[in-house]
Each structure stands twice: as structure tokens, then as C-alpha cells.
Structure 1
Amino acid sequence: MTVAVYLPLLLALPLALGARRIAARGTPGPAAWTLVTIAAVAALASTWSLTMLALTALDDLPPLAALDNHPTLELPEPVPGPVALIAGLLLVAGGVRLVIDARRRITTNRRLREVGDPDQELVIADWTTPMAVAVPGTAHTPGRLLVTTGILQLLSAPEREVVLAHERAHLAHRHHRLTATVAAAAAMNPLLIPVRRAVEFLVERWADEDAAADVGDRGLAATTVARAALASSGAGSGTVLGIDGGAAVQRVRALSQPTPAPMLRRLAAPILLGAAIVALAGAATEAFVDLAHAWL
């Protein structure tokens, strides 16, 4: 096996290091799509690399083990046994994390869909906890908005419109699919956890921009995000406009500035990195196929 089989495991690192910078500037939509796509490529490539490394352990099992002692055959030396074992363990750990994350998302969405009338586009729950969330639909039911009386009582009528526009944007752009995809990538390759966080921030910024455009007032949108942050911190909840501490400050600051212009050039580096990952995965696959031909 060549060194190319190890590189896809590490090339997620520069993507993770650059994710925050990419998320900080420009239009959030293209940045979110780019990061999700490259994260998925990196996760698939690293998982495939681990699979190839783990499969080299098969040379210690019959009937391949018998070939190692064959007097007329000289098989290429695969990766060391401990490396193959570690690769297998990492695959299992990634699979467990993936299942846990998927079950958590499915369970949470199912419970939220059980609140109120499933045919209503907007459900108002009589809960004191300040909460506003976009509930994804299913194959048989459309998505809907769930808000609580706790958040409605804290906001003015114009601010409520911002909240509803923000949550509608999540449904319209299917942000739950983007966050689920990048979460799955981070589960399989923990080096991608900063990318997952960047995408979660970007989809909130994306919804912020849509809400500001919908109400026609960036200042009002900024005020609403700030008030929601205070409500969330006071209630110990992060379910109002996706609020999470320091991210709220960045979002308010962004809404206090003019509408961001597209900065597609900053996306060239992650795209090139994705192409490099694919090329390296191809080279590693070719080396593995050569090794498999020698075995068989």
C-alpha cells in the first residue's frame, strides 16, 4: 500500500482549519453548500481509506495466510497488523457515532411532529420555554413551524415576523438535510467537527439573511436575534433562532452591516482540496486493487 491511502484521513484537517474563516465572510448559502459537499467527500474518502487498511488484515486469515508461506509465491507486504486493527476499530467507532446521531435526529423530529395538529403549517404550543423551530416534514407530511407562547410573549409583533421568516427559510432551503449530512461526515471523521459547527452557523446566517430580506429591515432582524439570545440564555435553551452564545454576537454583527456580497473566490481552496482528496482516494484504490490481484 502506498502513502496515498493515509492522506485522505488527514486532508480533512485543512478543511476544518479553514471552515471558520470561510463561514465568517460572504454569502452564507454558497459557503454552506461547499463545506457540506467537501466534508461529505472527505468523510467518504477517509472511510474508504480505513476500509482498505482494515481489509489488509485478511492476509492473516485462511486461505490467504497459507499463501504467505507458499515457497513459490512472494506477496507484497501489506500494512502492519496493528495499523489494520486500528483502522477497523476506527470504522466501528465511526459507525456507532453515525447511528447515535441519526437516531437522535429521527427521535427529536418525530417528537416535535407529534405536537399539535400535523396538518397545521404553524403550531403554537402553550409552553413557557422560549422556543421556535422548523420541524422537517416526511414523505407524507409537509414541514411546519413550532413556536411556544414563551417566545411569543417576549417579542413584539414585528420581531415575531422575523422569527417566523427565519424558521420558514430553514424549511424552504431544507437546511436540516445540510446539517444532517455534515453531522454524518463529522461522525465518521471527527476531524470534521469544526466543519459541522461552521455549517450549523452558516445555515442560521442564511436564515437570518432571508428573514431580514423578508421583513425589509436588517436592524429589526439584528435586534430579534439579540433578544432571542437573551431569552435563550435566561432559559438555558438554544432553541430560539438556533442561538448559541458567541455565534449570536457574530450574527448580530453581520446583520448590522450591509447585505454580504458573494465571495466565490474564497471557495476555490476547499473545492481544490476536495479534488485532491478524490485524486488521492483514486490512487489508493488503484494500489489496493493491485494488492488484491496479487493475493488472489
Structure 2
Amino acid sequence: MTITVYLPLLLALPLALAARRLAARGAPGPAAWALAGTAAVTALASTWSLTMLALTMLDDVPPLAALDDRPGLRLPEPVPGPVALAAGLLLAGGAVRLAAEVRRRTVTHRRLRAIGDPDQEVVVADWSAPMAVAVPGRAPVRGRLLLTTGILRLLDPGERSVVLAHERAHLAHRHHRLTSMTAAAAALNPVLIPVHRAVEFLVERWADEVAAAEVGDRGLAARAVARAALAASGPGTVLGIDGGAVVQRVRALSRPTPPPLRRRLAGPALLGLVTLAVASVATAAFVDLARAWL
């Protein structure tokens, strides 16, 4: 097998390094889609590379192992045994992480959907903790909003309108699909964790921009984000805010609406195409090896 089988494992690194810079400039929507799509391609390609490497261990299984001792028969050598074993272990680890991530999201969504009347578009829970969550629904229902009395008491009417517009934007644009996609990609390939975090930030910025446009006041939107962040009792409880990301979001809302800057997305698109091309070459080499052995 050629060196191309290892390249998809390495191509995740430049995407991870560039993710934060891409998330910092321009309109958040196109960047979120570009990063999520490229992360999915990269994760699938790296997983397929690990699969091909792990499958080379089959040459040690009878009757293929007996072919090594046949005189005059020169078969192409697969990758070293330790490399194939390491690939198998990495595959198993990725599968466990993916299963855990799917279970966590499934359980969380089920619990949130069980709160209140399922036919209500907005559910208000009598909880002191300030929280506003967009709960995705199954098609054709887009979902509903879950608010607590804690967040309603905290904000004035104008700021509440920002919260509602923000959470409705999450449902309207199906942001949970982008974050789920990158969470799965990061589970399969942990190098992509920074990309997942960047997409989580971008969908919050995207919802911020939609809310600011809907209320027609970027200053009001910035104030609502800042006040909700100060009262948040934990990561993601109010407007998806966690840690220092709120500072970047408030600063962005304090500036004019960002331009698309689609040219900056050429890098992730090109990286995705290169990854697909490299994976195709590696697959062709693997098929040649399999034919020789079988």
C-alpha cells in the first residue's frame, strides 16, 4: 500500500488549525456549512483509511497466511502488523466515542421533548435556573422552544424578544444538524474537535445575527447576550453561551453586519476535494493489494 493511505489522517490537521480563524471573520452561516461539510468528508476519509489499514491484518489469517510460504509467489507486502493493529484500535475507539455521542444527544433530546405539552410551540418551565433552549422536533415539526421562569424574570421585554428570535433561528436553520455532524466527525477523529467547537460558536453567531435583524437593534441583541451570559449557571444554558465566546459574540454584535466573505471558504472546499482525491487513490491501491492476495 502507498503512503496515500496515511494522508487522510493528516489532512484533518490543517482544517483544525484553520477553524478558529475562519470562525472569526465574515458571515457565520456560510462558514458553519463549509466547516461542517469539510469535517464530515475528512472524518469519513480518515475512518476509511484506518479501515483499510486494519483490514491488512487479514493476511495473517489462514488460508491467506499460507501463501507467504509458497515458493515463487511474490505477493505485495501490506503495512506492518503494529500499524494495522494501531489502526484497528483507533477504529474501535472512534466507534465507542460515536456511540456515546449519539446516545447522549438522543437521551438529552428525549428528556427535553418530554417537558410540557408536546403540541405547544413555546413551553415555560417553572425553574429558577435561567435557560432558553431550542428543542428540535421530528419532521415535519421543526421543534419548540423551552424557556424557564428564571430567564424570563432576568430579561426585559426587548431582551426576551432577542432570546425568542435567537432560539427560533436555531430551529428554522436546523443548526442541530450542523453541530451533530461535527460532533460525530470529532468522535471519529479527535483532531477535528476544534472544528466542532468552531461550528458550535458559528451557529450561535448565526442565531445572534438573525435575532439582531429581526428585532432591528444590534445593541439590544448584544445586551441580551451579555446579560444572559452573566446569569448562566452552566455551559450552554442560555443562548448557547460558554466561557469567553460571549465576549466575541458581543463584540461582533457591536459592529455592523458582517459581509459574506465567501472567498475565505475556498480553503476548506479545496481541502475537502483533495481529501476525496487522496482517499480515492488510496482505495485503488488497496483494491490492487486485495486482488493480489485473493
| Distance change (3 Å), C-alpha of 1:73 and 1:22 | same
| Distance change (3 Å), C-alpha of 1:3 and 1:199 | same
Of 87-96 and 135-144, deviating more is 135-144
Q: Which amino acid aligns with 2:160?
A: R
Please point out which of 228, 239, 242 is paired with 2:240: 242
Runs of 4+ in 1 over 2 A off after TM superposition: 139-142, 235-238
Query: Where in structure 2 are there 5+ consecutive unaligned residues?
Result: none
Displacement of 1:140 after TM fit?
6.8
Displacement of 1:237 after TM fit?
4.7
Q: Quick check: 2:142–2:172 contact (8 Å CA) kept in 1?
A: no
| Distance change (3 Å), C-alpha of 1:214 and 1:140 | closer
Q: Which amino acid aligns with 1:187?
A: A
Partner of 1:153: 153
User: Does 2:117 align with 1:117?
Assistant: yes
Partner of 2:230: 230
Partner of 1:143: 143
Displacement of 1:207 after TM fit?
0.1
Whole-Å separation in 1 of the counterparts to 2:138 and 2:236: 24
Whole-Å separation in 2 of the counterparts to 1:285 and 1:6: 11
Q: Quick check: 1:45–1:278 contact (8 Å CA) kept in 2?
A: yes
Q: Which amino acid aligns with 2:275?
A: I
Name the SS for the 2:128 alignment partner.
coil
Displacement of 1:245 after TM fit?
1.3
Partner of 2:265: 267
* TM-score after normalising by structure 1: 0.98
Partner of 2:166: 166
Whole-Å separation in 1 of the counterparts to 2:119 and 2:72: 72
Q: Quick check: 1:118–1:141 contact (8 Å CA) kept in 2?
A: no
Name the SS for the 2:154 alignment partner.
coil
Whole-Å separation in 2 of the counterparts to 1:167 and 1:127: 18
Name the SS for the 1:266 alignment partner.
helix
Whole-Å separation in 1 of the counterparts to 2:236 and 2:32: 21
Q: Which amino acid aligns with 1:215?
A: V
Whole-Å separation in 1 of the counterparts to 2:7 and 2:235: 40
User: Does 2:284 align with 1:286?
Assistant: yes
Whole-Å separation in 1 of the counterparts to 2:68 and 2:111: 56
Q: Quick check: 2:235–2:243 contact (8 Å CA) kept in 1?
A: no
Q: Quick check: 1:119–1:141 contact (8 Å CA) kept in 2?
A: no
Displacement of 1:291 after TM fit?
0.3
Name the SS for the 1:153 alignment partner.
helix
* TM-score after normalising by structure 2: 0.99
Query: Where in structure 1 are there 5+ consecutive unaligned residues?
Result: none
| Distance change (3 Å), C-alpha of 1:287 and 1:237 | closer
Name the SS for the 2:146 alignment partner.
strand
Provide the aligned length of Structure 1 versus Structure 2: 294
Name the SS for the 2:8 alignment partner.
helix
Whole-Å separation in 2 of the counterparts to 1:270 and 1:17: 11
Partner of 1:108: 108
Partner of 2:210: 210
Whole-Å separation in 2 of the counterparts to 1:238 and 1:183: 15
Displacement of 1:68 after TM fit?
1.1
The residue correspondences of 1:1-296 to structure 2 (distance < 5 A) are 1-139=1-139, 141-232=141-232, 235-296=233-294
Whole-Å separation in 2 of the counterparts to 1:95 and 1:121: 36
Whole-Å separation in 1 of the counterparts to 2:210 and 2:89: 43
| Distance change (3 Å), C-alpha of 1:27 and 1:140 | closer
Q: Which amino acid aligns with 2:262?
A: L
Q: Which amino acid aligns with 1:107?
A: V
Displacement of 1:60 after TM fit?
0.4
Whole-Å separation in 2 of the counterparts to 1:18 and 1:196: 12
Q: Which amino acid aligns with 1:42?
A: T
Displacement of 1:139 after TM fit?
3.9
Whole-Å separation in 1 of the counterparts to 2:114 and 2:141: 12
Displacement of 1:185 after TM fit?
0.3
